[in-house]
């Protein structure tokens, strides 16, 4: 395997740094700082300590026996990222970046958020480290996720509703970058996924790799061998790259990324970037993008605010093009059905994002033999979504 990214932040043809000149030195400074600290024993010890004692890692790798039986086929394991502090994998990254920001001498941090999970994880570490925190969130999303808006406020962060464009995650990212351009001299940007300009896709991946590293040890301990397939949901793609990356060299392990098909990939309301997009430059890097013929970025749709994004991390684009990972779409309806099934067979209410991965696992497991192993990254818990699921039930979207 070739080591990616190269020194320009390139994953094959993808990645790079496509940002206004004003930000270039900030990115170079970040790159230098990260290169300096990433092998620094003190830095790593602090990150490891917080992951363990503060967030509760390692998260379990749980054999979902009843789900496996119900589906019939492969033995299904769940990597329980939902058991992290703040309820999702997002904190793996915010801990790493906040420790880095502190070492870089930054006192102020900013973050973008869609569903609010990354915003909450950023507000949490900002509180922990005494950093001033502003979170940019599309106005639409502040309405959809009121509870998370309040959680961030409770944690001492300022939530700034974004009124431009689609008023969702895409425009929250734009607004965070614009704010950063204006305050680049004293502000650290905690980007929440493996997207954006170099070094973010590499750095966020490195902080999320802990998911895959633990999974590898845990499955070897439980089964004495590597899994046959790993499934994870992809919006920007941070939980997926986190669990995939330590297995990329193990070509017998199938890697399956699940993107949101919304109301269907043949409608205009989906977020299936890999299935329906094509390469382009969006928010700082070259990757697959949902766009019209003229290169205008299209609004995405998904029942899950965390997958509702028209771009995807450049390393995923690379893994797709070299055919190391496959990317498949799952609709809103399929994800809701999977959410109910997991809740009722295992007593675990998954986040809507993770429910997409579960839905694909149901399909894939059926095609596998009972002695084969399938691992699903259960990236977050469903508490944040209970409100919207209730609404879908009232509207007849799901039958309970």
Of 224, 294, 347, 396, the one binding another protein (CB under 8 A) is 294
Residue 52 annotated to the active site: no
Specify the residue, 32 or 250, whose C-beta has the smaller distance to another protein. Answer: 32
Q: Using an 8 Å Cβ cutoff, are 227 and 219 in contact?
A: yes
User: To which residue do tokens 């905690």 refer?
Assistant: 190
- Give ∠ CA 390-393-397 in degrees, rounded to 5: 130
Of 17, 90, 134, 144, the one binding another protein (CB under 8 A) is 17
Residues 6+ apart with CB under 8 A from 367: 73
Q: Which stretch binds another protein (CB under 8 A): 75-83, 181-189, 325-333, 347-355?
A: 181-189
Residue 90 annotated to the active site: yes
One DSSP character per residue, 190-224 reads: ---SS-SSTTHHHHHHHHHTHHHHHHHHHHHHHHS
Told to check if 6 binds another protein by CB under 8 A, we report no
Told to check if 105 binds another protein by CB under 8 A, we report no
Told to check if 291 binds another protein by CB under 8 A, we report yes
Separation CA 156–CA 166 (nearest Å): 27
Of 1, 2, 3, 21, the one binding another protein (CB under 8 A) is 21
Told to check if 24 binds another protein by CB under 8 A, we report yes
Told to check if 178 binds another protein by CB under 8 A, we report yes
Size of the residue set binding another protein (CB under 8 A): 37
Told to check if 26 binds another protein by CB under 8 A, we report yes
Specify the residue, 5 or 58, whose C-beta has the smaller distance to another protein. Answer: 5
Residue 294: C-alpha distances to residues 19, 53, 290 (Å)? 20, 50, 11
Extract the tokens encoding 253: 């392990």
Long-range contacts from 175-181, C-beta under 8 angstroms, 24+ separation: 175/112, 175/136, 176/110, 176/111, 176/112, 176/136, 177/19, 177/23, 177/283, 177/284, 179/110, 179/134, 179/136, 180/23, 180/26, 180/110, 181/20, 181/22, 181/23
Of 84, 195, 273, 283, the one binding another protein (CB under 8 A) is 283
Q: Using an 8 Å Cβ cutoff, are 233 and 239 in contact?
A: yes
* Catalytic choice (31, 46, 81, 112): 112
Told to check if 18 binds another protein by CB under 8 A, we report yes
Q: Using an 8 Å Cβ cutoff, are 329 and 359 in contact?
A: no
Q: Which stretch binds another protein (CB under 8 A): 72-80, 136-144, 162-170, 348-356?
A: 162-170
* Catalytic choice (75, 90, 106, 134): 90
Q: Distance of alpha carbon 200 from its chain centroid, rounded?
A: 13
- The stretches of 111-264 forming alpha helices (DSSP H) are 117-129, 139-144, 146-154, 169-182, 200-208, 210-223, 238-244
Which positions from 182 through 221 interact with another protein, judged by CB under 8 A?
182-185
Of 88, 98, 133, 177, the one binding another protein (CB under 8 A) is 177
Of 158, 295, 366, 383, the one binding another protein (CB under 8 A) is 295
Told to check if 321 binds another protein by CB under 8 A, we report no
Specify the residue, 264 or 279, whose C-beta has the smaller distance to another protein. Answer: 279
Q: Which stretch binds another protein (CB under 8 A): 214-222, 275-283, 330-338, 378-386?
A: 275-283
Specify the residue, 230 or 298, whose C-beta has the smaller distance to another protein. Answer: 298
Shortest reach from residue 318's CB to another protein, in Å: 17
Told to check if 181 binds another protein by CB under 8 A, we report yes
Residue 97: C-alpha distances to residues 2, 34, 197, 204 (Å)? 26, 9, 15, 8
Residue 276 annotated to the active site: no
One DSSP character per residue, 346-375 reads: HS--B-HHHHHHHHHHHHHHHTS-TT-EEE
Beta pairing partners, 28: none
Per CB under 8 A, residues contacting another protein are: 8, 16-26, 164-165, 170-171, 174, 177-178, 181-185, 280-284, 289, 291, 293-298
Catalytic residues: 90, 112, 379
């Amino acid at each position: 395997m070739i080591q990616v990214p190269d020194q320009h932040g390139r994953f094959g043809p993808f990645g790079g740094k496509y940002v206004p000149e004003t930000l270039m030195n900030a990115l170079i400074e970040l790159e230098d700082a990260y290169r300096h600290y990433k092998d620094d024993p003190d830095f790593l010890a602090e990150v490891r300590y917080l992951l363990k004692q503060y967030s509760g890692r390692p998260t379990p790798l749980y054999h979902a026996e009843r789900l496996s039986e119900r589906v019939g086929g492969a033995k299904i394991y769940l990597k329980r990222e939902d058991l992290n502090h703040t309820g999702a994998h997002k904190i793996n990254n915010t801990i790493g970046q906040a420790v880095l920001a502190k070492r870089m001498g930054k006192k102020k941090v900013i973050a973008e958020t869609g569903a609010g999970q990354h915003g909450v994880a950023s507000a949490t570490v900002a509180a922990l480290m005494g950093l001033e925190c502003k979170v940019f969130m599309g106005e639409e999303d502040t309405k959809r996720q009121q509870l998370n808006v309040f959680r961030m406020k409770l944690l001492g962060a300022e939530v700034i509703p974004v009124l431009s464009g689609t008023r969702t995650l895409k425009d929250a990212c734009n607004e965070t970058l614009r704010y950063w351009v204006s305050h680049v001299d004293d502000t650290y940007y905690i980007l929440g996924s493996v997207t954006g300009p170099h070094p973010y896709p590499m750095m966020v991946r490195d902080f999320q790799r802990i998911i895959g590293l633990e999974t590898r040890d845990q499955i070897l301990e439980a089964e004495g061998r590597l899994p046959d397939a790993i499934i994870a949901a992809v919006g920007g793609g941070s939980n997926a790259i986190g669990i995939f990356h330590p297995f990329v060299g193990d070509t017998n392990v199938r890697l399956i990324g699940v993107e949101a098909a919304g109301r269907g990939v043949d409608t205009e309301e989906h977020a299936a970037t890999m299935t329906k997009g094509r390469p382009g430059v969006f928010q700082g890097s070259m990757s697959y993008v949902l766009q019209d013929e003229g290169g205008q970025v299209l609004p995405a749709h998904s029942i899950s605010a965390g997958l509702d994004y028209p771009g995807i991390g450049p390393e995923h684009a690379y893994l797709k093009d070299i055919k190391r990972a496959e990317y498949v779409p799952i609709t809103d309806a399929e994800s809701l059905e999977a959410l109910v099934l997991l809740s009722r067979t295992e007593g675990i209410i998954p986040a809507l994002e993770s429910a997409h991965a579960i839905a694909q696992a149901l399909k894939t497991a059926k095609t596998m033999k009972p002695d084969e192993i399938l691992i699903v990254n259960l990236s977050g818990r469903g508490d944040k979504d209970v409100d919207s699921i209730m609404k879908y039930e009232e509207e007849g979207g799901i039958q309970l």
